[in-house]
Structure 1
Amino acid sequence: MSDPQDYTVGWICGIELEYVAAQVFLDEEHEGPERVSQNDKNDYTLGKIGKHNVVIAVLPNGEYGLTAAGNVANDMLHSFPNVKIGLMVGIGGGAPSPDRDIRLGDIVVSSPHNGQGSVFQYDFGKEIQGRGYKYTRLLNEPPTVLNTAVAGLKAKYRRHGHQLEEAIKGILEKNPRLQEEYKRPDPYTDRLYQTTHPHPRDKRRVNCSEACGIDPPALVHRPERTEDKDIPKIHYGVIASGNTLMKNAEERDRLARERNVLCFEMEAAGLRKDFPCLVIRGIYYYSDSHKNKEWRGYAAMAAAAYAKGLLCRIVPSRVEAERKITDIISSG
């Protein structure tokens, strides 16, 4: 059995679909922990990525949102007290705009913008007279070692491109039973509807191609991505987190415009001060009423592939030099 003291990287997934994607990108899988905290309710997968020992946990089946994520993080840190860097990896909703060509299957990595932080809770704040709505819950920024690795990886990918698509194909070749759910869908299924064209309320159970149509007036025209462009594309910027699934295109566009939000998700703000981490999300729908489940598996794979590349960029001695997350929390 594995010694919990040996694990310095904590990786949290929101759902089982993301948990599978994280597991298959491990270079080695270890036996389960020899012991955990008495009240720890988490399920763990242990292994190695590059030269780092990684502990992966998932939210309980059927539980979503900020509170559940916070509980998983707290239990992990009690059982694995030597964790020094944290990752929240999974799927989310994109917020495309004229300035950001975000498409299904792309990756969004949390990154500060104009000093406002990289993750905030969009459904918590206060209304101030004459100043509008102020968001008051921000996620603690991840350790510098993670932000430095992101910068290094950006430079590498800009010069040489990335091989994330090839990495995903390689994983699926080794795991053929996952291909149907996790392979990249036909680009034809990636449709961005106009903000003024929501999914009909009386046709919630009817797919979008039938209920909403595929005619040009209903869709946002976007040029095809050329072969010289990396697929998936990686975006760096602000992620909005909340307790409810974002399915409102008008609200999506407002927050993209006012707060430069690139992605919406449901767990990261629950980690707030208790698990400072980098948030990595694969995009599977456009944060509107046209929810697209076809891209969930591929989006989860894309996020996990990026996370693995990031960890392989980090020298183990840099992680060893970091403070334990439990020490950071206890010191306030």
Structure 2
Amino acid sequence: MSNFSRPSRRDEFDTAIICALRLEFDAVAFLFDEFWDTDGNSYGKVPGDGNTYMAGRIGNRNVVLVLPGMGKVNAASAAANIITSYNRVQLALVVGICGGVPYKNDGTDIFLGDVIISESSIQHDFGRLYPDGHERKEGLLDNLGKPSREIITFVKTLQTKIYLERLLTRAVRHLDTFQHPPNIREGSVLEANSPSKYEYPGMAKDKLFEPTYPHKHHQGCSTCSQGMSACQQSRELSCSELHCDEAHLERQRIPGIGEAWKLVVHFGPIASGDSVIKSAEDRDKRAKEMKAIAFEMAGAGVWDTLPCIIVKSVCDYAYSHKNEEWQNFAAATAASAARALLELHTPPDKSLPPIAKRSDVPLIEGNATRDTSRQSNRINAASGGIIGNNATGNSQQENIIGPVSPDSGPCVIL
């Protein structure tokens, strides 16, 4: 029997996990320790909230899991609804699969099955489309904000030797439960699906084709015979079905004697947008411009709404060559890394009062209040504030506003 008591209210949940695909949702759900909303025991939601929530426990965290669908608009809507119904959520994880950039800027290889953890998120498809190509908008107000100070320091800490070792050890242990479950829980995703679906596909199936070698029929198709053009049918077929010539492989992982797969985690910028990248040329161009190491479709929608970390695993190389063999394994790997990350993250103190609502913030005019008595106005940056340099109040007034800065919370400097 669990030593954890079932939460009685929505404000006892501090973590949200957002998945765009069902296979991602299933993988995350398998790693829940308990579900709090079985047998119709729903926590409800505010009127107008379009999310469907699954509530449960992962370790010592009360978590809600949401499946909004693909695209940053759906993700943004889900995040906005989360903060209305579950207003104590302090951390959102966007978990699932992504397209990986084969090589980082420093030349480090990224392979299928590797995990990507965000240091920042960039909207790669926000801009103007000209006849000669796409121009991304890069103005200050056109880009996503940087993470909160707490997220920045936590992700940096994860990159230290001792924390990275802890992250990898825990993630591998959780991944093993997919492939060798001690028992299959009633109602779990593995009850209806064989655990073998989450097995590592093997290094020999990790093949990277040259950027200029297209995925299409190489003979017998009038459409595919025209330069880089490809017919719709060829886009739905695998490389083996199209007989893609492996003489055009740029890289293939061939294990040495006794060499086993090892989980690798990369940290860096993740490009996010509504377009699935299926072009090696566009992938490499955008990755170079933005220093991105992966492409996905949900993070940008959550990034500026909730404190957010994107945790993804590489299932393809973001180019035309179709390869779905890695999706389930990558989903399980991302879920395992996300759980490991949660176990290393310090949860918020449940005894703290909720963040003040906008209506709770005292009115500030310039740098003076309307009260003529001596008083202190302390505005937490998380609640927002207006700072003025026009001190017109009574000399006995003491107006202390802090800590308010662009880095610590919503802020307008006048």
Q: Give the TM-score, by structure 1 length.
A: 0.85
The unaligned stretches of length 5 or more in structure 2 are: 1-6, 130-134, 185-189, 217-229, 359-380, 385-409
Aligned positions of 1:230-309 closer than 5 A: 231-309=262-340
User: Contact 1:138–1:269 at 8 Å: present in 2 too?
Assistant: no
Identity %: 30
Q: CA deviation at 1:248?
A: 0.8
Higher-Rg structure is 2
What whole-Å deviation, never above 9, does each CA across 1:161-216 have from its counterpart, x for those lacking one?
8233342122342444352432221322221111001211132233112325252x
Aligned length, in residue pairs? 319
Picking from 66, 72, 83, the partner of 2:72 is 66
User: Contact 2:94–2:310 at 8 Å: present in 1 too?
Assistant: yes
Picking from 169, 172, 177, the partner of 1:170 is 177
Aligned positions of 1:187-266 closer than 5 A: 187-200=203-216, 201-202=230-231, 203-215=234-246, 217-222=247-252, 224=254, 231-266=262-297
Report the more deviating stretch, 205-214 or 98-107. Answer: 205-214
- By relative contact order (CA 8 Å, sep 6+), the higher-ranking structure is 1
Q: 1:168 to 1:36 in 2, by over 3 A?
A: same
User: Contact 2:168–2:337 at 8 Å: present in 1 too?
Assistant: no
Residue aligning to 2:363: none
Aligned positions of 1:1-332 closer than 5 A: 2-31=8-37, 32-59=41-68, 63-97=69-103, 99-111=107-119, 118-125=120-127, 133-136=136-139, 137-155=142-160, 156=162, 158-159=164-165, 162-163=168-169, 164-172=171-179, 173=181, 174-175=183-184, 176=190, 177-200=193-216, 201-202=230-231, 203-215=234-246, 217-222=247-252, 224=254, 231-317=262-348, 331=384, 332=410
* Alignment partners' CA distance in 2, 1:121 and 1:194: 26
Q: Which amino acid aligns with 2:293?
A: L
* Alignment partners' CA distance in 2, 1:233 and 1:313: 17
User: Contact 1:240–1:263 at 8 Å: present in 2 too?
Assistant: yes
Q: Which amino acid aligns with 2:154?
A: A
The unaligned stretches of length 5 or more in structure 1 are: 112-117
* Alignment partners' CA distance in 2, 1:192 and 1:320: 51
Q: CA deviation at 1:230?
A: 6.7
Q: CA deviation at 1:150?
A: 2.8
What whole-Å deviation, never above 9, does each CA across 1:44-86 have from its counterpart, x for those lacking one?
1112222221111111xxx421111111111111110111111
What whole-Å deviation, never above 9, does each CA across 1:137-180 have from its counterpart, x for those lacking one?
43333333333333333322555682333421223424443524
* Alignment partners' CA distance in 2, 1:241 and 1:151: 21
Q: CA deviation at 1:251?
A: 0.8
Q: 1:323 to 1:38 in 2, by over 3 A?
A: closer
Report the more deviating stretch, 285-294 or 266-275. Answer: 266-275
Residue aligning to 1:115: none
Report the more deviating stretch, 203-212 or 294-303. Answer: 203-212
User: Contact 1:88–1:280 at 8 Å: present in 2 too?
Assistant: yes
SS of residue in 2 equivalent to 1:69: helix
